[in-house]
Amino acid sequence: MIAASRKMFYMHKKIAKGEWTFFRPQADLGIELKNKTLGIFGLGRIGVQMALRCRGAYNMKVIYHNRKPAKDPEKLLDASFVSFDELLSQSDVLSVHSALNNETKGVFDQSAFSKMKPTSIFVNTARGAVHNEKDLIDALNSGKIWGAGLDVTNPEPMDATNSLLSMPNVAVTPHIGSATEEARGEMSRLAALNIVEFYKNNRIPKVVNPETLTMVKPGLNT
C-alpha cells in the first residue's frame, strides 16, 4: 500500500537508471494515505492486523465486506460492514485478505474495478486468482483506478514482461508476505508440533480444516 501510493518501486528504478537529478516539486507525485478510507475484503486475522496498522499510522476509517458481519473486529476497529458494491465505491485503499474459493475467484474483474474510485489503490496480498489480471491492467491503463500493490499475481509466478512491472503507480513483490526468518521458523515449528501431537495425543493444535480429522487415525499412512 505504502510503496504503491508513493511510487517507490518506479522511483527506485529511476535512481538505478541515473535519472535522479534535480528537485521537481510537481513530478511523480503520489497519494496521501492519512484520513482516507480503508476497505477490507475479508476481515479475518490478517485483515484485522492490516486495519490496526492503517488506523494507527494513518487514522484511516475502516469499512469491510465479509460473507457475514464480524462483530468483535467491528468493535476493535470501529469498522463498518458494507455491501460489496459499497466497498468498491467508498474505499480509497481496497485490500484483499480473503480465502480463494468459488465465491472469491475472479471477483475483482472489469465490473468491480469500474465501480472503484479513480483515485483508489487496489491491494492484493491473499491469492492472485481473486483478481483478473488483464482487467486490473486495463483498469490501471484507463484510469478507472489509480494504483495497485500486489504480493500475489495471476498467473503466478509473473512473467518478467508483464506491463504491471513498468507502471509507475504499481508495486509488485513475489509472494513474500511471510518471508522472514522469524515467520518461516515459526511455521516450521507449528508443523512439527502438529505432527508430534497427532501421533502422541491424536490431536492437531493448529488445524485449518478440522473436518478432515475424522478421516484419519494415528499410525496410518494417510
**Residue extents of the structural domains in the chain:** 2-172, 181-215
Active-site position among 45, 156, 184, 203: 156
Measure the CA–CA gap between 97 and 108, rounded to whole angstroms. 13
Q: Over 90: is that where the pLDDT of 173 sits?
A: yes
- Condensed to tens digits (0 to 9), the pLDDT of residues 187-198 reads 999 999 999 998
Based on the number of CB atoms within 10 Å of its own CB, is 100 exposed (0-12), middle (13-18) or buried (19 or more)? middle
C-alpha cell at 109: 474483474
Q: What residues form DSSP beta bridges with 40?
A: 64, 95
Residue 221: band (very low, low, confident or very high) from pLDDT cuts 50, 70, 90: very low
- Amino acid 53: pLDDT: 97
- Amino acid 210: pLDDT: 79
12 is catalytic: no
Measure the CA–CA gap between 27 and 31, rounded to whole angstroms. 13
pTM: predicted TM-score of the whole model, two decimal places:
0.89
Percentage, residues of the chain above pLDDT 90: 86
- Amino acid 58: pLDDT: 98
- Condensed to tens digits (0 to 9), the pLDDT of residues 114-127 reads 999 999 999 999 99
C-alpha cell at 42: 475479508
Please indicate whether residue 216 or residue 188 has the higher confidence score (pLDDT): 188
According to CATH, the superfamily of the domain at 2-172 is NAD(P)-binding Rossmann-like Domain (3.40.50.720)
Residue 219: band (very low, low, confident or very high) from pLDDT cuts 50, 70, 90: low
CA dihedral sign, ordered 207, 213, 215, 220:
positive
Residue 207: band (very low, low, confident or very high) from pLDDT cuts 50, 70, 90: confident
Chain mean pLDDT for the chain = 94
Active-site position among 6, 127, 131, 133: 127
Active-site position among 55, 74, 86, 175: 175
Measure the CA–CA gap between 59 and 57, rounded to whole angstroms. 6
3-class secondary-structure state, position 10: helix
175 is catalytic: yes
Q: Over 80: is that where the pLDDT of 39 sits?
A: yes
3-state helix, strand, coil in the chain (%, to 5): 40, 15, 45
Q: Over 80: is that where the pLDDT of 134 sits?
A: yes
Measure the CA–CA gap between 171 and 158, rounded to whole angstroms. 13
133 is catalytic: no
